[in-house]
Amino acid sequence: MSTPTMGAAQVFRLPDLGEGLTEAGLVQWLVAVGDTIVTDQPIAEVETAKSVVELPSPFAGVVTALHGTAGDTIDVGAPVLEVADPAASEADAGSPAAVEHEAYREEERAGSGNVLIGYGTTERTASGRRRRPAAVRADLGEAPASRTTPAGSSEKTTIVRETDAVPRRPVAVRSPLVRRLARDLGLDVHTIEATGPDGAVTRADVLRAAVDNAVDGAAAHHRDTTASASAPSGTDGSVDGLAVRARERMSPLRKAVSAKLTRSRSEIPEATVWVDVDATALWDLRAHMAPEGGRAPSVTALLARFVLLALEDYPVLASRLSDDAAELITFEGVNLGVAADTERGLMVPVIPGAHRLTVEQLDGALRELAASARSGSMPPERLRGSTFTLNNYGGLGVDGSAAIINHPDVAILGIGRIIERPWVVDGTIVVRRIAQLSLVFDHRVCDGGYAAGFLRRVTELIEHPLRAFGRV
């Protein structure tokens, strides 16, 4: 997918997208080979673990090559497209295009994060922006444009690491963000090769080590699976005697969800308490809460308000543990995460400062979050920072769930269907609307009595909802 070069080719490589992401899925191209583009023009839509975003080009000129087709996965640092400048005069070092290109490259090398609006910045050295030595750039895979592998080719480019040419200093991690990223990915910083100009381990070093580990782990898993096959197979299209219908690569979102849930289960000693609650009064009250010409607040908005009121009395359940689990950090207020089921998978958008919102404001925020999450346009910053998570899985038609805590939260409350069931009231069996509440909490931060007290408070507000609005 290329045309003859019109001048010095400029290769746009997938930038560091932040959030510890190492790849993005190519959704669709917004340009074609031969198109003339301008700086910051969207050239493709890519899917990250957070959302679908437009990828702007840092270069202006004529598109000479597109690397990949819709559905492909592009690694950070891999070529995305190539651009040639049709004006020979602009190839001079002092031309506006050259100056703009160099400014972009300097910003990218410094880890600005401005390549994609909305993604966080990477670490910077104390002396500001600094150009990497040539050998280090080669080590990071920044190959010259003339050696770029054509799109669609299966040929792999081998990068020779000039370790002898670059003196190595003792391994050091200067940025706490880099150290945390390594810890989140399960990597030992002492085993990571440092390429920073001052001998420090950089974000790129950590991401590259994570990719190498993933490749090695996948290869080992493949060997183990092949060796453990109990039935011989005459083709590569069967496993344990069953024909393989399809092999589908995990999407960036599924990988991110998998990593987060795995960390939650491996680090948090969770416990669960649950209770059946009579939600009849709440159900009846909601029907009368619709303003004239408007609609009543959602059940989730009402439950969210009750949860926030209960957390005022039980703030530990909206706290966090420090990275070394030596300190319990409590907050003035709550950033409420709300689990949302979307076509792309599970997302947990966050309502910051939810404790300050009324039921009507919570209802509006929840509807807006749900629409953004389902459309795939949720900004990354709206998917982090929660201190407590609410999961109304009753909308999925189920009564209960063994939920997994949304790390780094320490608790999650699940709500099942509100359905009619026989219920004993004053010795008489009557039909009431019953729901099951399930609280999963980190047993390191509190014990069962504290968690049960919170659940009783939420139950009281659901059974007597007028008390939550100061009417009783």
CA distance 461 to 364: 21
**Dihedral angle over CA of 311, 355, 369, 359, nearest 10:** 100
Element (H, E) at 221: helix 203-227
443: annotated active-site residue: yes
468 exposure class (CB count in 10 Å sphere: 0-12, 13-18, 19+): buried
Token pair listed for 214: 């993933």
Active-site residue, selected from the candidate residues 221, 222, 443, 464: 443
Containing 455, the helix (H) or strand (E) segment is helix 448-463
Give, in order, the Cα–Cα distances in Å from 115 to each of 12, 42, 72. 11, 11, 21
Q: Answer whether the bond into residue 408 is a cis peptide, omega within 30°.
A: yes
Rounded to a whole number of angstroms, the distance between the first and last alpha carbons of the chain is 71
- Cα–Cα dist 204/22, whole Å: 9
Quote the CA–CA distance of 387 and 308 in Å, as a whole number. 11
User: What would you report as the CA-atom Rg of the chain, rounded to the nearest whole angstrom?
Assistant: 27
Q: Just list the catalytic residues.
A: 443
